[in-house]
Amino acid sequence: MTKSIFITGAGAGIGLETARLFASKGWFVGAADRDQKALESLQTELGERVCSTHVADVTDEKTVAGALSEFAELTGGAIDALHNNAGILKVGPFESLDIQDHRAIVEINVIGLMNVLHAAFPYLKAASGAVVVNMSSASAAYGTPDFASYSASKHAVRAMTEALDIEWEVHGIRVCDLMPPFVNTGMVQANAGASRLFDSLGVNLAPSEVAAEVWKQVCSPQLHRPVSNQFKILWPIARSSPAAVTRAVMKKLRRS
């Protein structure tokens, strides 16, 4: 039987490349996004036999539940993989950003993630060995200046991943995440120049490289998967170093 994956934020960036990759591997893709035109373009590219599109806003639990239900009708009631990719980013000193921007980051990156996980659970449970891949971030390793609310949202994703990987184990569901540094997407490009961290750390990852890591997680899940050689080295150091050391490094990077 054909394997299936449901992807949020599939209209652009990492989600789009993930849809393309899984379709090329013979999977049936459920692509969800707020951008109907982007979804129509994706379905034209991949074909209706390979891709089902669903207009949905992850902050609206009714549209999320409806999209997942529609997709599950096409997959026999089970979904083999879920890629929680939808998210937004707004960069700058905390006090300089409008409070509505901070609220939107939390609503989409955290509440939206929870809406999708909650609605997807019965379909994941119905599959054999389902895998959830959440999009966390390198900023979940330590609170990141100029990215305060975004970093906080990704810490929440990391915690949700750890908790559900334990809770859902009894149902045969693995829950894991990806932790990439900056990825060259429209979301990051829209914030170019808003923080020196972009220059000091670089924007070196392509969306297709992260999509390849989604594939690795589905094939061989690990709780947290750091992405890029740079962060693969830094992640264990950040976890084991005293907080004062990590804090000093972050301050230096912000000034660079």
For the annotated catalytic residues, the residue numbers are 150
- Burial class for 178, CB neighbours closer than 10 Å (0-12, 13-18, 19+): buried
**Strand pairing category for 174-179 and 224-226:** parallel
Mean of per-residue pLDDT scores for the chain: 92
pLDDT score, position 36? 97
pLDDT score, position 101? 96
User: For helices 13-24 and 207-219, what crossing angle results, to 10°?
Assistant: 50
Note whether 20 and 85 are within 8 A (CB).
no
Find the mean pLDDT for residues 163-186: 94
Give the span between the Cα atoms of 195 and 210, in whole angstroms.
22
Q: Side chain identity at 78, as an amino acid letter? A: A
User: For helices 148-167 and 112-126, what crossing angle results, to 10°?
Assistant: 20
- Would the pLDDT of 85 be above 80? yes
> Domains along the chain?
4-255 (3.40.50.720)
- Would the pLDDT of 168 be above 70? yes
Q: Of 175, 7, 165, 174, nearest to 86 (Cα)?
A: 7
Longest Cα pair distance anywhere in the chain, in angstroms? Answer: 54
Find the mean pLDDT for residues 108-128: 98
- Burial class for 27, CB neighbours closer than 10 Å (0-12, 13-18, 19+): buried
Give the span between the Cα atoms of 83 and 99, in whole angstroms.
28
Lowest mean pLDDT among 51-55, 130-134, 188-192: 188-192
What b-and-e string marks burial along 77-96, b requiring 16 or more CB atoms within 10 Å of the CB?
ebbbbbbbbbbbbbbeeeee
The string of pLDDT tens digits covering residues 205-224 is 899 999 999 999 999 999 99
